[in-house]
Amino acid sequence: MSNSEIVNVVITGAAGQIAYSLIFNVIKGDMFGNDQKIKLVLLDIPAMIDGLRGVVMEIEDCAYPLVSSIVCTTDVKEAFTDAHYAILVGAMPRRDGMERSDLLKANAAIFKVQGKAINDYANKNVKVLVVGNPANTNALIASTCAPNIPKENFSCLTRLDHNRAKAQIALKANVNVKDVHNVIIWGNHSSTQYPDSRCGYINLPTGKTPISNVIKNDQWLQGEFITTVQKRGAAIISARKLSSAASAAKAITDHMHDWVFGTPEGEYVSMGVPSDGSYGIPEGIIFSFPVTIKNGKYTIVQGLPIDPFSRALIDSTHSELIQEKTSAFQFIE
């Protein structure tokens, strides 16, 4: 996409908390660069339209040069027409007393409608990032209902988990987080995710050092490290009494930025993408893998060793995704 064209960026759940942090990252240039003008399209449900208008007032009061125009809408056709990038933050949240199957059913309905709208109205090369939970399965539903859009264009967010994993390694190793590289998040953006430090390294003054040579504590790397990352969301809610909007917005920004601009040589990031048989995960689900990105296309990193410990965790998160898929798909027939 040349910089002289305006890109149409759709954000759903636009009156919500994650969007409130996200929108200002997007229009500042962090996501698409400082030369890319943006038409910002904000979608939410009718009950949120006032809140949405308030957000637009604030965007206007920021005087960002990259904002070419802003559209607020409650209509999916208007929202997704000619979209180049779609960030699907909005989803039905879990309420008290709601069973998992209720949650899946409610979200299947939302993502079926949005997937179809993307299919019918969006730019054919639209890149889609699903954030609203259950993210992997919601992305799969949207993709399934958008047969005219290449399935590689649908992804879900595990970059937050990836960034959290980097942060935990940095804290334990007493280094700056920018020196931690190539941690991996495998699987579902849920408590079955597998944060994997085995292929990661830390930039020390002496050179690139495998994480396990810096943090010489397998028990921690296979134990507390994993559970801390898995449960980090709950820990933030417990402290803030609100969920982690700002760090989620940063992860969304990182995911989209890297998808557009590519990753540095040798650097892996984690993205929830359609499985293709890699690492024993058959086609048909959205699974978080280590990827590199070039020219707007991601490639799953091949040939990484999978030991029995990792195999078990990868299989477990895979099973959960298959179950979610089975439950959810009965609602979209």
16 vs 134, which CB is nearer to other proteins? 16
Query: What distance in Å separates the CA atoms of residue 164 and residue 185, rounded to the nearest whole number?
Result: 10
Query: What distance in Å separates the CA atoms of residue 280 and residue 149, rounded to the nearest whole number?
Result: 25
Structure tokens at 326: 């089975």
Structure tokens at 222: 């296979």
Task: Please list the active-site residues.
Answer: 189
In the complex, what is the shortest distance from the CB of residue 16 to other proteins, in angstroms, rounded to a whole number? 11
Query: Is 76 annotated as belonging to a binding site?
Result: no
In the complex, what is the shortest distance from the CB of residue 234 to other proteins, in angstroms, rounded to a whole number? 11
Query: Is 44 annotated as belonging to a binding site?
Result: yes
DSSP-derived letter for residue 284 is: S
Query: Is 240 annotated as belonging to a binding site?
Result: no
Count of CB atoms within 10 A of residue 65's CB?
10
74 vs 327, which CB is nearer to other proteins? 74
Binding site for other proteins (CB under 8 A): 20-21, 23-25, 28-30, 33-35, 50-51, 53-55, 57-65, 67-68, 160, 163-164, 166-167, 170-171, 174-179, 203, 205, 232, 235-236, 238-242, 244-247, 249-251, 254, 257, 261, 264
Q: List the alpha helices (DSSP H) in 154-307.
A: 159-173, 211-214, 218-222, 224-240, 245-261
In the complex, what is the shortest distance from the CB of residue 194 to other proteins, in angstroms, rounded to a whole number? 18
Query: Is 95 annotated as belonging to a binding site?
Result: no
Query: Is 311 annotated as belonging to a binding site?
Result: no
In the complex, what is the shortest distance from the CB of residue 58 to other proteins, in angstroms, rounded to a whole number? 4
59 vs 113, which CB is nearer to other proteins? 59
Counting DSSP H helices and E strands in the chain, the numbers are 11, 14
23 vs 141, which CB is nearer to other proteins? 23
Whether omega for the bond prior to residue 134 falls within 30 degrees of 0, making it cis, is yes
Query: What distance in Å separates the CA atoms of residue 158 and residue 114, rounded to the nearest whole number?
Result: 21
Annotated binding-site residue numbers for NAD(+): 44, 107, 131-133
